[in-house]
Amino acid sequence: MTTRLLIVGPQGSGKGTQGQRVAEAYGVPVVSTGDIFRANIKGGTELGLKVKAITDAGNLVPDDVTGEIVSDRLSQSDAIERGFLLDGYPRNAAQVAYLDDFLASHSAALDAVILLDVPRAESVARITGRAEIEGRSDDTEDAVAHRLDIYESETAPIAETYAQRGVLDRIDGVGTLEQVTERIFAALDARSLIR
């Protein structure tokens, strides 16, 4: 069975960790724009240098660059055959339209959108804590606040789009890893998505 999922939420909501758990349970690859960008930064590629300059300033990577990377990854055989879990894309209305067009060209659609609800103060605390542990230069307090502002103005509204389509599951993202994972699985089980 093919399962196409999207996980969204503010930075620090646990998308990466929960996305990995869900993807493993459903046997689908995680398509994380953040991971793709970080791998390029670490590898010192042309894309990596460009992305690093953008993210160090607290900005988000432009839609055209991100769309190209995502469509390339979703065109690979594992994503076509088994499905995928998108993490970090789409993050605004233009990217939703791009993804809709891409999926329609493959006669496909998202099966569910998982929205991790986490209060802003919790997000900031998690991200700044992670920055200290991982030494990430893009997680300064100002950069985090800027990215959360962008999330609230651009990404949060896409939840309404997916809610209108009947594919949005709003999940309380505060609690232990296991509690949040259980909430996600309960919502997906209710959609009869087979693990």
Exactly one of 50, 82, 130, 170 is catalytic; which is it? 130
Exactly one of 38, 120, 136, 170 is catalytic; which is it? 136
Exactly one of 4, 73, 91, 183 is catalytic; which is it? 91
| 130 among known catalytic residues | yes
Exactly one of 4, 21, 126, 147 is catalytic; which is it? 147
Buried b (16+ CB within 10 A) or exposed e, 176-194: eeeebbebbbebbeeeebe
| 126 among known catalytic residues | no
CA 139 to chain centre: 17
| 147 among known catalytic residues | yes
| 15 among known catalytic residues | yes
CA 156 to chain centre: 12
| 191 among known catalytic residues | no
**Alpha carbons 135 and 22: distance in angstroms, whole number:** 27
Residues annotated as catalytic (active site), given as ranges: 15, 91, 130, 136, 147
